[in-house]
Amino acid sequence: MSAVIDDHSHGHEHAHGPAKGLMRWVLTTNHKDIGTMYLWFSFMMFLLGGSFAMVIRAELFQPGLQIVQPEFFNQMTTMHGLVMVFGAVMPAFVGLANWMIPLMIGAPDMALPRMNNFSFWLLPAAFLLLVSTLFMPGGGPNFGWTFYAPLSTTYAPESVTFFIFAIHLMGISSIMGAINVIATILNLRAPGMTLMKMPLFVWTWLITAFLLIAVMPVLAGVVTMMLMDIHFGTSFFSAAGGGDPVLFQHVFWFFGHPEVYIMILPAFGAVSSIIPAFSRKPLFGYTSMVYATGAIAFLSFIVWAHHMFVVGIPVVGELFFMYATMLIAVPTGVKVFNWVSTMWEGSLTFETPMLFAIAFVILFTIGGFSGLMLAIAPADFQYHDTYFVVAHFHYVLVPGAIFGIFASAYYWLPKWTGHMYDETLGKLHFWLSFIGMNMAFFPMHFVGLAGMPRRIPDYNLQFADFNMVSSIGAFTFGATQIFFLFIVIKCIRGGAPAPAKPWDGAEGLEWSVPSPAPYHTFQTPPEVK
C-alpha cells in the first residue's frame, strides 16, 4: 500500500495540535486522545481488578479463613469479575479501536467524535459508582459477576441498585462506542480501501461492534428486570409469584456468551496483524479469517445454554447446545491453523509483541480444549461450578484478551509515543507474565477435576498444595504488571526514537504516518493501491 499524507491546516482551528492543560482531555474529540484515555483507564481498572484477585488468592493461599470474612470474599469475586470484564478488557479494546481504526483505514478521525468523548466519560462515572458500593451499608454486590437471581434479587445488599445503574452506564457507553466504530468503518475508508483490503483488526472490530449493539440491550433488560423484582413487586425471577430463576440465566447468558466473543475477537484481529509482521510474510488465508470471524459471531448467539446444562433443560436442548458449542471450535480452529501457517517458513524474529502473540495462540488453544470438555453435557454435570470452569475461562481470557492487549500495546507503542520500548524489559515482562499465568491457572484444572467448588473462601485440606502454587503464580503475575507500567512510562519519557515503520514486516496505512502519529492524520485521504 502507498499513502500520501497531507497535514496542512485546512482551516480547522485545532489543526496545529491539542489544547493545553486538563481541558484538552475533558473536551477532546480527537480519536488519538480518546484512545489514550481508554487505554489508561483500562490499565487502572486492570490494576484494581487485579488487586481484588490478589485478595482472593491471598485468602485461598491456605485452607481455613485467613484474612477476610466470607461475605467480603464474595464481594471480591464479584467485583474482580465485573471490573476485569467491563472495566479492563472492553475499554482496552475500545481504546485500541479508537487509536488504530482511523489510522488503518485512512480516516481523519472517528465518524462521531463528540459521541466518542461522551462514551468514554461515562466509564469513570460508571466505575466510581460500581466501586463505591463496597463502602455502602451491607457492602458491595456479593452474588458473583453473573449476578444470578434469586441471590441477586431476594438476598442482595442494598447497594445492588447502584450496581444496576453502573451496568446501565457501561452498556450505554459500549453501544455508543460500537455505533461509532460501525459508522467509521462503513463510511470513512480511504479511496481504494475496499472491505476485503481492511486489516483483520478492523474486520474483527466491525463484527464485534455488531455483537455489542445486539447484546448490550439484553443485558440492560435483565438488570432492569432485576431492579423491578427488587423494588417494584414484579416476579420475573421469583417462583413464588409465578416467575422462574432459570429465565434469568437464559436472558443473562444470551448476553453473556456473545460478550465473551466481544472480549476475544479484537484480540484475534490484533494477533492477525502482529504474527504476519514478525513472520515477514502476508497473513495466510485472509478471506477465510474474515468468514471465520463472522461464523464465530453467528454461532455465539446459539450456544448460551451450555452454561445451564445442570438446570434441567430438555435433553433435545442439551444436545443442540452441546453440538452448537462444539461447532464454534471449527472457525476458531481455522484461525489457529492460519496463524500457524503464517509463521510456517517465515523469517521469524521474537520481539515482545510476537512472544505475546505466540503465547496467545498456544494458551488460547489450551483454553479452547478445556472449553470443548465443558461443552459435553454429561461431563459438564461433573465440571460445572468447579475450579475447572475457572481454569477454562481464565485460560481463554488471560492469554486471549490480556495477552492480546499486551501484544498490541508493545506493537503500537512506538507509533503512539515515538519511542521504542526497552526490548529486554519487555521480554522479561513477557516471561514473568507467562510463567505466573500458567502457575496461577494450570493447577486449577487439577483441583477442579478433583471436585473443588468455585466461589468459596475455604476448602478441604486435599486441595491445599495446588492452591498455594496457584496463589504464588497469581502474585507473580500481578506484581509483574506494575513492571509493565514502568516499561510504558519509560517508553513515553524517552528511549530510542522510533521510525515511521519500526517493524520490518509490518504492513498497513498506520505505518505510513510518522512516529509519534501526528495529532491530525489523513486529512487528505491516502490513495490505497
Q: Domain locations in the chain?
A: 29-512
* CATH level 2 (architecture), domain 29-512: Up-down Bundle (1.20)
Q: Is the pLDDT reported for residue 1 higher than 70?
A: no
Instruction: Give me the percent of the chain exceeding a pLDDT of 70.
Output: 97
Q: Name the active-site residue from 272, 386, 471, 521.
A: 272
pLDDT tens track for 357-381 = 999 999 999 999 999 999 999 999 9
Catalytic site includes residue 174: yes
Catalytic site includes residue 257: yes
Q: Is the pLDDT reported for residue 451 higher than 50?
A: yes
Q: Name the active-site residue from 80, 168, 415, 419.
A: 80
Catalytic site includes residue 387: no
Angle at which helices 245-279 and 90-105 cross, to 10°: 40
Q: Name the active-site residue from 42, 159, 173, 352.
A: 173
In this prediction, residues 42-62 reach a mean pLDDT of 99
pLDDT tens track for 100-134 = 999 999 999 999 999 999 999 999 999 999 999 99
pLDDT confidence of residue 16: 65
Q: Name the active-site residue from 32, 257, 394, 429.
A: 257
Confidence of residue 10 (pLDDT cuts 50, 70, 90): very low
Catalytic site includes residue 8: no
Report the chain's terminal Cα–Cα distance, integer Å: 6
Q: Name the active-site residue from 293, 332, 512, 521.
A: 332
Catalytic site includes residue 493: no
In this prediction, residues 135-161 reach a mean pLDDT of 96
Work out the mean pLDDT of the chain and round it to a whole number: 96
For the entire predicted model, the pTM comes to 0.96
355-370 burial code (b ≥16 CB/10 A, e <16): bbbbbbbebbbbbbeb
Q: Name the active-site residue from 32, 306, 419, 501.
A: 306
Q: Name the active-site residue from 335, 394, 419, 520.
A: 335
Q: Name the active-site residue from 24, 280, 454, 455.
A: 454
Distance CA 438, CA 473 (A): 7
Catalytic site includes residue 347: no
3-state secondary structure 309-345: HHHCCCHHHHHHHHHHHHHCHHHHHHHHHHHHHHHCC
Catalytic site includes residue 259: yes
Instruction: Identify the bridge partners of residue 497 per DSSP, sorted by sequence position.
Output: 419
Instruction: Give me the percent of the chain exceeding a pLDDT of 90.
Output: 95
